[in-house]
Amino acid sequence: MKQFTYLQAIIILHISLLFNACGDKNTNKEENLDDLVVAEISTDYTEQFRPQFHFTPEEKWMNDPNGLVYHQGLYHLFYQYYPDDIVWGPMHWGHAISKDMISWEHKPIALYPDELGYIFSGSAVVDIDNTSGLGTLENPPLVAIFTYHLIEGEKAGKLDFQTQGIAYSLDNGDTWTKYEGNPVIPNDTGIKDFRDPKVYWDEETNQWILILVAGDHAKFYKSDDLKEWSHMSDFGKEHGAHGGVWECPDLFQIKVGETDEEKWVLLISINPGAPNGGSGTQYFVGDFDGKKFTAEHKDHKWLDWGTDNYAGVTYNNTPNNERIFIGWMSNWNYARNTPTSTWRSAMTLPRELSLIKENGHYFLRSNVLEAFNKQLSKVSEQEIVSLESPFELDHGNFNQSEVTFKTNLSKQLKLEFTNNKNEKLVFEIDPANQKMMIDRTASGMVDFEPSFAKGIHSMPYIVSNKEVDVRVIMDWSSVEIFVDNGKYVMTDQIFPTEFYNNLQVSSTNKISLKNFNLNNIKSIWKDE
Ligand code: FRU
């Protein structure tokens, strides 16, 4: 894993600032070179709560993943970034690259605010046919499509302060130039929330499709060249959850299991209004004819019932058309208050989405990418679990536990992680009451914001198989739980003040536990 030294980081920062200062329209008027205090980037990723195998910025504030795109052997991860503080501020696009989406290399900031506004969330595409004319056929441009948020407009009470802009890179994401004709989609809708464009190339209709959100619905646009866009249709006023503003849409076609059937999935994040409070991501399954999205159902489903998977979207241009998802592992209810020191927030592990059909209903499954398995080393594998004695956890909070559980309405499964300070994280499956739960109310530091430890997080669960697999992936400050091959997912942040050192696996009926595996997880930031 390549990491920059302090000196390298400073040199790179200066080069990128100079580059940004050169383009006239692209100059960030708010950042004056003379005023800039270059922060010392000196993390060795050992600060309290620092995730060891989830992406985090070296320092400062991060929110949504942006511009997820694969190009020439590299997976790019851009992200909402504020380089001057560990709370949200004028948004930039931070940047990292990876060959496998597990280990990451940090890159200099990709996009800076300019006179059209802060750089809010959006996506990136490889313009292979150079439809935009911003590159050449030999060297097709990477094009980022994002929202400009003009703070002066917002403060003046205007409604048109969010517009869409583009920027391009001819060196696989290292340097970016903003398009001189920005904004490419001005806001004439009269709706102030008008943001988060996701763009992809539509093979059927041979055009670019862009989906953005406008308050309580999604809007669909088309373009031949990424510069001129025309509005086609809207979706959602009458569909789904409306407890808050719609954000960060995504639209993709996906196969149904191993069949030849294909469906379209529309992801929509919403804040507030998620089932366990605050921010969450709902989805709709249906069809898209190149112009209009039609849902199979009026209601919505939730991608993840934990409280900490928000604004997630999927990669464009993956090598085998895999649908790979990354979400921001936080919640606007308390994102600004979490007890981390030099940085704030992490991304979820990358998850491959697949679609299944059961009894006429479609469900998304989320499964952590196989590449993650290289971080694992086996500690224990047992056929039948002895319930009396807890498992000792001797690798900090960096572990994965897997249980195969024989389901039956009268049996419950409980996993309880504890430490010497009586802090505990409890996960439970209760088939009789058709639910599964995460209780983090006594998991460690919880009182930094009242909503963090408010109640137990639960999700509906219906026994459908004789045996069900449970996979719990724990990092220093998060837990990701996948049940029934990723059909049920819960992601929660946790802040234990000491590592959990015991895991008690229990059930109301001994023989209901089939086998149990415990793995340690290696850090992506160190060679262990
Ligand atoms: C979602 C979001 C987006 C917006 C960005 C601003 O978390 O609110 O809608 O573009 O964050 O940072």
Question: Which residue out of 34, 64, 225, 484 is catalytically annotated?
Answer: 64
Q: From start to end of 256-323, where are the E strands?
A: 262-271, 280-288, 293-295, 301-302, 310-314
Rg (CA), the chain: 23
Q: With a 6 A CB cut-off, is 62 part of the ligand 1 pocket?
A: no
Please state whether 300 falls in left (phi above 0), alpha (psi between -120 and 50) or beta: beta
Q: Which amino acid is at 387?
A: L
- The answer to whether residue 3 scores a pLDDT higher than 80 is no
Rounded to 10 degrees, the C-alpha dihedral 181/184/186/192 comes to: -130
Best mutation site among 62, 63, 187, 348 for ligand 1, i.e. most ligand atoms within 8 A of its Cβ?
63
Give SS3 for 441.
coil
In the 8-state DSSP scheme, what is residue 128? T
Higher pLDDT, 190 or 39: 190
| 113 Cα: distance to centroid of ligand 1 (angstroms) | 15
The H or E element containing residue 22 is helix 6-22
Best mutation site among 120, 146, 147 for ligand 1, i.e. most ligand atoms within 8 A of its Cβ?
120
Higher pLDDT, 23 or 453: 453
- Does residue 272 have a cis bond before it (omega within 30 degrees)? yes
Whole-number mean pLDDT of the chain?
91
Cβ neighbour number for residue 148 with a 10 Å cutoff:
28
pTM for the model stands at: 0.92
For residue 385, the model assigns a pLDDT of 57
| 183 Cα: distance to centroid of ligand 1 (angstroms) | 18
Average pLDDT over residues 260-273: 98
Report pLDDT digits (tens) over 120-142.
999 999 999 999 999 999 999 99
34 assigned to active site: no
Give SS3 for 15.
helix
528 falls in which pLDDT band (50, 70, 90)? low
Classify each residue of 208-239 as buried b or exposed e, where b means 16 or more C-beta atoms within 10 Å of its C-beta.
bbbbbbbebbbbbbbbebbbebeeeeebbeeb
Beta strand pairing status for 60-71 and 343-344? parallel
Name the burial class of residue 23, with classes exposed (0-12), middle (13-18) and buried (19+) by CB atoms within 10 angstroms of its CB: middle
